Amino acid sequence: MQTDLRGRDLISTQDWTREEIETLLDVARDLKRRRALGEPHALLRDKVLMLLFFFSSTRTRASFEAGIAQLGGHGEFIESSTTQISHGDTAREIGEILGRYGDGIAIRQCDWGVGNQYIRDVAEASRVPILNMQCELYHPFQILADLLTIQEKKGPDLRGRKIAVSWAYASSYQKPISVPQSLILLMTRFGMDVTLAHPPEYSLVPEIVEQAHTNANQHGGSLEIVHDMDAAFTNADVVYPKSWGCMLTTSDHEESRKIGEKYSDWICDERRMALAAEDAIYMHCLPADRGIEVTDAVLDGPQSVVYDEAENRLHVQKAAMALTMR
Ligand code: CP
């Protein structure tokens, strides 16, 4: 178990070794158990986490704020539009200054081609750990919560288990590609057989797909890419269908909308769930476009684990804070 994580940033799960991630999951399970028993666990008394959001959030904000409070510290919510960032505060200034006020900085910045670099620039200037609450490339805490959830449902050894990471249609907006990218990176490191399904226009960043192949080769998993949702679902132990934008094909919103409409039959419904293994679980990071991306019968049905997934955000984030901010 690698425990020397004090001061470490968590921007992508690729920044941490598999052994370090296993430490985080171990601590998350312990903190989950302690909360269930009502055992105090104020491991970060008087510590402050700065929470800087450039985008809206339900789960991420609520779980980080609850988590730091349960650890005995304080979460300071900062919405970028209420700051002087638009008047000139640079990433370096944010890192230097917020790093002197607090003990950790968590950031959500999903602008295409901007977010990840911004978070890394803040990290470069900051004396405290930086936690990525989602950028345009990665959503590490979502995927750590997903991994914890899969292990709870399917057991700790995931080798030989099939996960279908599939694109699904949504009409609400061009959702980031950070969730599927983070899924293929992490699940291949834990030996899963990953089938990534998407229409041709919805490809992911080639370097990240290549890294996922490397992860699979190193850890005994596999990565297959198909353009057929049914093929991905067939015999899967875990299905994770969600929408994402065709950012690598076009930046034009009208063109994106038209491309998406060609694939409006890419929905997760009961027929598709029946293609998966009998005991398959349905996962989604939420929010979902109900009736478009997934039917109510699936999202609210017996195979859905979306609320356990959302709960596990709390536990993995508390583990990351306790390990890096102490
Ligand atoms: N899954 C997730 O990150 O949810 P929010 O956007 O509500 O934080």
The CATH number covering residue 262 comes to 3.40.50.1370
Residue 207 CA to residue 221 CA, distance in Å, equals 18
Which H helix or E strand runs over 118? Answer: helix 115-125
pLDDT greater than 90 at residue 2: no
Shortest CA distance to 296 belongs to which of 263, 266, 269, 264?
269
For the chain, what is the domain count?
2
* 3, part of any domain: no
- At 322, the pLDDT band (50, 70, 90 cuts) reads very high
Instruction: Report the 10 Å Cβ neighbour count for 257.
Output: 13
Distance 25 CA to ligand 1 centre (A): 20
For ligand 1, atom 4: residue with the closest CA = 59
Per-residue pLDDT of 123-158, as tens digits, reads 999 999 999 999 999 999 999 999 999 999 999 999
For ligand 1, atom 7: residue with the closest CA = 58
Does one domain contain both 269 and 195? yes
Does one domain contain both 160 and 22? no
Does one domain contain both 54 and 200? no
Q: Around 238, how many Cα atoms within 13 Å sit in the side-chain half-sphere? A: 31
For ligand 1, atom 6: residue with the closest CA = 57
CA distances from 155 to 33, 106, 190, 234, 257 (A): 17, 30, 12, 21, 40
Range of the domain at 292: 141-309
Does one domain contain both 57 and 192? no
Does one domain contain both 23 and 62? yes
Per-residue pLDDT of 192-242, as tens digits, reads 999 999 999 999 999 999 999 999 999 999 999 999 999 999 999 999 999
Give percent of the chain with pLDDT exceeding 90: 98
Q: What are phi and psi of 134, to 5 degrees?
A: 130, 125
Tell me the three state secondary structure of residue 174.
coil
Does one domain contain both 155 and 295? yes
Shortest CA distance to 275 belongs to which of 164, 184, 181?
164
Distance 64 CA to ligand 1 centre (A): 11
For the CA of 56, the closest atom of ligand 1 is 6
For ligand 1, atom 3: residue with the closest CA = 60
Distance 243 CA to ligand 1 centre (A): 14
pLDDT greater than 90 at residue 277: yes
Per-residue pLDDT of 289-319, as tens digits, reads 999 999 999 999 999 999 999 999 999 999 9
Residue 286 CA to residue 306 CA, distance in Å, equals 8
Does one domain contain both 158 and 194? yes
Does one domain contain both 251 and 299? yes
Tell me the three state secondary structure of residue 107.
strand
Say which amino acid occupies 297. A
Strands 104-109 and 162-167: unpaired
- Cα of 238 vs its chain's centroid, Å: 16
Distance 60 CA to ligand 1 centre (A): 5
Per-residue pLDDT of 25-42, as tens digits, reads 999 999 999 999 999 999
Distance 59 CA to ligand 1 centre (A): 5
Does one domain contain both 205 and 69? no
pLDDT greater than 90 at residue 172: no
Question: What pLDDT, on a 0 to 100 scale, did the predictor assign at position 245?
Answer: 96
Pocket of ligand 1 (CB under 6 A): 57-60, 134, 142, 285-286
- At 89, the pLDDT band (50, 70, 90 cuts) reads very high
* 1, part of any domain: no
For all residues of the chain together, what is the average pLDDT? 97
